Amino acid sequence: MLEISAIDVGYGRSTVLHGLTLGVPGEGITAVLGHNGAGKSTLLRAAAGLLKPKRGSVRLFGEDITRLAPHERVRRGMAYVPQGQQCFPHLTTMENLRLIADGRRDGAAALADALDLFPALVPLAKRRAGLLSGGQRQQLALARALITRPRLLLLDEPTEGIQPSVVAEIEQKIVALGSSIAILLVEQHLRFVLSAAQRYHVLAAGRITASGDADPATETTVRAALAV
């Protein structure tokens, strides 16, 4: 579904991703693991269209989208949830959702569907997003992304900075979403990745250094790959 081929991506003159190639199949969860600074967020920004590769190409459903803007990728079925539970802090939960839903033909129905998936947001509808907990803001960020009815969801460290009691709840939602939407998941929590994902890739210094089928039995192998 998503084919990233030999991309060089960076900031200004510095290159962070070096000839990176990665495929995301049309179903299930594909995980990207790696230490801080490895380039995981840079990879998702390039997939979402926020960074343009200096070399290489990005294809979605066979179409070359390398030069397409982020909103044009959203229209083609891609949604991106950045690291850090971003939302508009001065707007309410509902206003944050409406911002995405308004102007979409199926906006009202899509918003209702998103709230069905995240019922915890309903009693928070009138609360300013800046006053929500990290876990609640992450649910809001996921709900916002789902309003665009994506077929591919890019998730950057969705459980980072969330209190441990809520992490399992977010993880369950991601697993449930993965049964109907393809997910490219950046996540540090190795045990969760190996139980939830179908495939994993290890990213180190801007290159894929190991890949394989995700399975809890591979934990030792993956830990060794991460330690290199």
Ligand X SMILES: Nc1ncnc2c1ncn2[C@@H]1O[C@H](COP(=O)(O)OP(=O)(O)O)[C@@H](O)[C@H]1O
Binding site for ligand X (CB under 6 A): 11, 16, 34, 36-42
Q: Which of 4, 20, 41, 194 binds Mg ion (CB under 5 A)?
A: 41
Question: Using an 8 Å Cβ cutoff, are 132 and 85 in contact?
Answer: no
Strands 55-60 and 207-213 come out as unpaired
Residue count of the chain = 228
Identify which of residues 57 and 188 has a Cβ nearer to ligand X in the complex: 188
Decide which of Mg ion, ligand X, none touches 39; Cβ closer than 5 to 8 Å per partner kind: ligand X
CB 184 within 8 A of CB 152: yes
101 with 167: CB under 8 angstroms? no
The site partner of 174 among Mg ion, ligand X, none (C-beta below 5 to 8 Å per kind) is none
Nearer to ligand X, 41 or 85 (CB): 41
The region that residue 156 occupies, defined by phi over 0 for left and psi between -120 and 50 for alpha, beta otherwise, is: beta
- Please provide the DSSP assignment of 100-142 as one string: HHTT-TTHHHHHHHHHHH-GGGGGGTTSBGGGS-HHHHHHHHH
Q: Which does 34 bind (CB under 5 to 8 A by kind): ligand X, Mg ion, none?
A: ligand X
Q: Of 50 and 166, which CB lies nearer to ligand X in the complex structure?
A: 50
Residue 221 interaction partner, one of ligand X, Mg ion, none, beta carbon < 5-8 Å per kind: none
Nearer to Mg ion, 40 or 137 (CB): 40
**Least distance from C-beta 178 to ligand X, angstroms?**
21
Residue 12's CB is within 10 A of a number of other CB atoms, namely 5
**Site membership for Mg ion, residue 42 (CB under 5 A):** no
Q: Shortest approach of Mg ion to residue 92 CB, angstroms? A: 28
